[in-house]
Chain A
Amino acid sequence: MSVVTVQLGQCGNQVGQELFDVVCTDVREGPRKTYSAASCERFFYQTTHGDLTARAVLIDMEPKVINQSMTKAAKSGRWKYGDTSHFSQKQGSGNNWANGYCVHGPRHREVVEELVRREVERCDRLSGFMAMMSVAGGTGSGVGTYVTQCLRDIYPKSFILNHLTWPYGTGEVIVQNYNSVLTLAHLYQLSDAILVHENDTVHRICSQLLKIKHISFSDVNRVIAHQLGSVLQPALTADSHGVYSRNPLGIDWQVRPPSGSERTRSVTGGSFNASVANLLVLRGKDVYSAETGGFEDPTLYTSWLSAEEAFNLWKSPVPFNKYEKSATLVSNSQALLKPLDNMVAKAWNMFASRAYIHQYVKFGISEEDFLDNFTSLEQVISSYSELC
């Protein structure tokens, strides 16, 4: 089964290119033919000339980054992007979500839908979509949200995964908190799963774990690509019966909590973030003998779910990206609660003085819209806060 990736804006296109690169390299290194075949199937197709081509659509409102990504890919000699699988304009979105969502999105809807449709038709079986974007700017966030909405409209039964990059806390863009709030509130209604990387956290990984001295965005993007790749590459799941699961996005991320009366409050340990679901992916040496009992400790999970329901384990004996052994944890838990709360708090403070609002109203987003979006996110924060 295949995944069609949509790369949006500068961040989406840069990270996307690194992801395909990591996957392609991994496939070449691996000695296992079934693993390589499965991986190739989900991310690439072969042209008549035998070129490995990414199942991807590249979108941006200005041309520089797409050009760079396509050139870098072609230079690798191992894979490339489709020659016509991209769309760009001349003038960016000016860090304005409203400009991206209300103006650029609708204006270019048909072209983008057509590009996506072509990729979908190339797939034997479509597993779903992955949209890659940042939340701080104007294109990735605004156009990205609009495109996600279009995908949801046209392919109502397909799985949509949004990969989001959150900006550094100390502003890169002054209105980043507004753009983030608007994006997240909308995606909550549209997306099946939102996978988040925070620049601050990845930056810390680069400096403290990888000991890189002068950290560049390339370094950051490669770490993100590595982590994403380790989740999306083929793995054996509990119900795939000894073969690589055909569905890379196939985990039921939707969890429906019981109604209020059934919830009990647990008094035990608050030192862990309460989880709603955890996915552990093990790759490489000793995967079959690894002891993972610790992840099934009930105190890790919210009281109304059992560890059996909430914990999933995938394995692959094939080492990933030259790491002899690796483990990746994808967690639906309170871990993002604090960053989300901070982001909403800052945006709300700014909104209280109505600063910058005229820039959004100019393009079609009203104060009412802002209030609706704040309300949605406060509900999300509330739901996550109550997990224990």
Chain B
Amino acid sequence: MTQSVVVQVGQAGNQVGCRFWDLALREHAHVNKKGLYDEALSSFFRNVDSRRSDGRACGVGGRIQHLKARAVLVDMEEGVVNEILQGPLGEVFDSTQLLTDVSGSGNNWAVGHMTYGLAYREQIVDHLRKAAEHCDCLQCFFLIHSMGGGTGSGLGTRVLSLLEEEFPEVCRIVTSIYPSAEDDVITSPYNSVLAMRELTEHADCVLPVENQSLVDIVNKIKRMSHTGKPGSMIKRDSTIISGQGGLTRAEKPFDDMNNIVANLLLNITSSARFDGSLNMDLNEIAMNLVPFPRLHYLVPSLTPLYTLTDVSVPTRRLDQMFSDAFSKDHQLIRADPKHSLYLACALMVRGQVQVSDLRRNIERLKPSLPFVSWNQEGWKTGLCSVSPVGHSHSLLALANNTCVKPTFMELRERFTKLYRKKAHLHHYLHVDGMEQSCFSEAISSLSSLIEEYHHLDATKGKMMPDAPRLGIAR
């Protein structure tokens, strides 16, 4: 069994991270009835016995003493991290895992990346090393941050390149929250594009999440709960926006949206934490879903959003779940994969689902999903036997699809609108280490990324002839 470390940076990163740890504990408590510190728990938690003078953690197999999250929390303001520490989750972190400052980054990527990045470089590396040393076999770093601000975006991407430098062999999966078009931070396009370049260069996989999609999902669920239609009652605590049953009592604003992202992380790691008939390790995700190094943006799609109380015919419900995974309502970014091109797709199933159900649904859905010519059977599948809390089964689909191109093009446009007028540029250029070339290189990186997707798109619908085989001399 391997371990993973979560690095949460900035306000959004820490808020989502906080929800992740809460829901993770809830999930493990649901499954782990005997209170033993097992392999599953050890993938994300250490077990510390405060009575031990050497401070080293206990190995797998004993009783749970004191769980500590394998996490590093970074923020240049204290508010969010302090709130976490003062809440019921505070026990799960200790002070050696935190890195805070007081003044914030002023929504300025350059301040986060250059100023704080330089000032805190050693401390960050130190914290990361400590977290890594506590692991027997570290397989993956999960970075959570937002793109539109200053800390998450700037310092977060600095952390990302440090991760690559210091731990080149450990997988880096980044969950990035992209701003909506109506974002109230004016400079969010600058911050996002500057951060994108770092993501393209240094991440193994990126799971982009758009705030607007989260809002849409929350609204959809709330509408469902209020229709009061007979036969459509939602089972209590079964929605992916609910944090019920976790440690935190009061629901804060944005908790429901953040719970969705936390659930995404729980599901992507489920196969690494729990047993199943077809395990999918984290290093298999990048291997199978990333055919070209820079094209590693994976569209996440989660189902079900909620479980209805009336139990309809299981098979139909199961098949519906597969169909839903490919519906736009369930995606965490706004895009149109069905009218773009699939490069690869992973289906991570949880619960009592058989191989035959999986095969049947793939066969059923395949005809309506356009796959690139050289990967017509580009499916990677995983079956984890432990279902999430409140559901009998669930499905996470990760699609490497050219539908991210319009999203990136839109981002480029918003950037260009500001950059043409040199609006707010001086705030950035004043920062030590920041130059105009950072901007031009970043936009250039984004443009060539868009080009790569464009080339693949161009092959869509065309009958690509099979590559001529090697001829053998008689």
Contacts and interface: CB of A to CB of B under 8 A. Distances in A.
Interface of A: 62-64, 90-92, 94-96, 168-175, 214-217, 260, 344-346, 348-356, 358-359, 374-375, 378-379, 382
Contact of B354 (A170, A214, A358): A214
B168 to A, nearest CB: 10
Contact of B362 (A170, A216, A355, A382): A170
Contacts of A171: 377-380
Nearest to B138: A91
B472 A382 contact: yes
B287 A359 contact: yes
B284 interface: yes
A169 B359 CA distance: 11
24 contacts: A62-B1, A90-B2, A91-B2, A92-B284, A94-B284, A170-B359, A170-B362, A171-B377, A171-B378, A174-B379, A214-B354, A215-B355, A217-B277, A217-B355, A260-B474, A345-B469, A348-B470, A349-B373, A349-B467, A354-B292, A355-B343, A358-B293, A359-B287, A382-B472
B392 interface: no
Interface of chain A, helix or strand or loop or mixed? loop
Nearest to A207: B356
Contacts of B1: 62-63, 90
A379 B472 contact: yes
Given A91-B283, A95-B287, A349-B373, 19 more contacts: A90-B137, A91-B2, A92-B284, A94-B284, A170-B359, A171-B377, A172-B278, A173-B288, A174-B375, A174-B379, A175-B287, A217-B277, A260-B474, A349-B374, A350-B374, A354-B292, A355-B343, A358-B292, A379-B472
Given A95-B287, A358-B292, A350 B354 contact: no
Contacts of A90: 1-2, 136-137
A368 to B, nearest CB: 14
B467 A352 contact: yes
Contacts of B381: 172
Interface in B127-162: 136-137, 139
B284 A355 contact: no
A10 B137 CA distance: 20
A10 to B, nearest CB: 8
A216 B377 contact: no
A95 B354 CA distance: 22
Contacts of A170: 359, 362-363, 377, 379
B469 A94 contact: no
Interface residues of B, number: 42
Contacts of A359: 286-287, 290
A174 B293 CA distance: 16
B312 to A, nearest CB: 20
Interface string B358-378: 010011000000000111011
Nearest to A374: B470
A216 B357 CA distance: 11
Contact of A64 (B275, B287, B359, B373): B275
Given A215-B355, A216-B355, A379-B472, A95 B288 contact: yes
Contacts of B355: 215-217
B281 interface: yes
Given A217-B355, A345-B466, A355 B292 contact: yes
Q: Which 7 A-B pairs have the closest CB atoms?
A: A352-B467, A94-B283, A355-B291, A90-B137, A171-B377, A174-B288, A382-B472
Contacts of A354: 292
Contacts, number: 102
A94 to B, nearest CB: 4
Contacts of A175: 287-288
A349 B281 contact: no
Contacts of A355: 291-292, 343, 374-375
A30 B371 CA distance: 54
Interface string B442-474: 000000000000000000000000110110101
Contact of B356 (A214, A349, A352): A214
A350 B373 CA distance: 9
Contacts of B76: none
B344 interface: yes
Nearest to B2: A91
Nearest to A174: B288
B470 A352 contact: no
Interface in B309-339: none
A260 B472 CA distance: 15
A171 B375 CA distance: 10
Contacts of B277: 216-217
Contact of A92 (B281, B379, B466, B469): B281
Contacts of B344: 174
A202 B67 CA distance: 46
B289 to A, nearest CB: 8
A80 B450 CA distance: 57
Interface string B164-189: 00000000000000000000000000
Given A90-B2, A173-B288, A378-B472, A353 B374 contact: yes
A204 to B, nearest CB: 13
Nearest to B471: A378
A375 B470 contact: yes
A62 B282 CA distance: 13
A63 B60 CA distance: 14
A93 B287 CA distance: 10
B164 to A, nearest CB: 13
Contact of A173 (B2, B286, B356, B380): B380
Contact of B380 (A92, A168, A174, A348): A174
Contacts of A345: 466, 469
A91 B378 contact: no
Contacts of B474: 260
B378 A174 contact: yes
B84 to A, nearest CB: 31
Given A91-B139, A355-B374, A348 B287 contact: no
A92 B356 contact: no
A257 B379 CA distance: 41
Contacts of B375: 174, 350, 355
A176 to B, nearest CB: 9
A76 to B, nearest CB: 21
Given A216-B355, A217-B277, A349-B373, A91 B287 contact: no
A348 B465 CA distance: 12
A345 B376 CA distance: 12
Interface string B69-103: 00000000000000000000000000000000000
A348 B281 contact: no
A154 B275 CA distance: 38
Contacts of B286: 94, 359
A175 B466 CA distance: 18
A169 B377 CA distance: 8
A96 B287 contact: yes
A94 B356 contact: no
Contacts of A168: 359
Given A170-B362, A350-B375, A356-B291, A92 B283 contact: yes
A382 B281 CA distance: 38
